Amino acid sequence: MFHYNHSIWKSDALEIPGVAHGFSTREGGVSTLSHTASMNTGFFRGDDSETVVENIRLLCRHAGLSETVVCTPQIHSDIIRYVTRENVGEGTQRDVPFSCDGFVTDQPGVTLLVRVADCAPVLLAGVTEAGAPLVGAVHAGWRGTAAGIAAKAVAMLREMGAAEVHAAVGACIHSCCYQVGEELRDTVAELRGREFAARHVTRRDGALYADIAGMNRELLLEAGVGAVDVCGECTRCNPALYHSHRATGGVRGTMGAVIGILR
């Protein structure tokens, strides 16, 4: 189950010894612009760099994590990078040497950050046979979801030695609000099969609506994840608590989801 406390959501599924995590809302930060207040973790949204960096630091503190963050510009891909302590600090300024949509690590003191504002944040935690923790974080928009980015992260954690993996899908836009076009349905059908598309892209009142949280849940279970927790909160339904691209026409801040292995 998900629990909300001190401006962030946490999931029981990720309560693994040696791991901490958190999914942000609009609360708990220092942004003062009306469209970014108060927790905005994204550059190029109106806040100066110092404000965004301070918000990221605060999110890490709220989650009980090290402020040694790795993040990146996101490109709606299925690209995932393995990162180490050598990558700490990358992405916490405007200029970064890479773009991707997910990270995995097995090193303590590395906080993984992905950013969302309707897309699905997926955090993963695993343990090896010896009990050592491993973690992952992915930004799953519809393109990344259809390409199987969450399942790819699971596979990478298993290659790194994870004997068991748990996952949590944070607040995102849900099928109540996520009206989509035929391109999404057809792409999902092409990549995941027509039956999968029919389960997760449905017609209502003459329009198509997609369930990206449900897609990720199914793909994670198919990948062998032992427990998948899905937050029922729809970002589009509650723009007072969440940054939502759909609700604001793109004039908004960006939420963050963080996970890491404790030192």
Count of helices and strands (H, E) across the chain = 7, 15
Q: Is the pLDDT of residue 97 over 70?
A: no
Instruction: Output the pTM of the full model.
Output: 0.97
pLDDT bin (cut points 50, 70, 90) of residue 96 is low
Q: Where are the domains of the chain?
A: 8-261
- The domain 8-261: what is its CATH number? 3.60.140.10
Sign of the four-CA dihedral 196, 126, 99, 249:
positive
Which of 98 and 97 is assigned the larger pLDDT?
A: 98
pLDDT bin (cut points 50, 70, 90) of residue 91 is confident
Reference 175, options 134, 216, 116; nearest CA is 216
d(CA 145, CA 156): 16
Query: What are the pLDDT digits (tens) for 37-70?
Result: 999 999 999 999 999 999 999 999 999 999 999 9
Q: Is the pLDDT of residue 150 over 70?
A: yes
d(CA 7, CA 26): 8
Alpha helices in 64-179, H assignment, sequence order: 142-146, 149-159
Strand partners, 258: 22, 113
Reference 122, options 110, 135, 105; nearest CA is 135
Query: What single DSSP character describes residue 249?
Result: T
Average pLDDT rounded to a whole number, residues 23-31: 98
The fraction of the chain above a pLDDT of 70, given in percent, is 98
Query: What single DSSP character describes residue 110?
Result: -
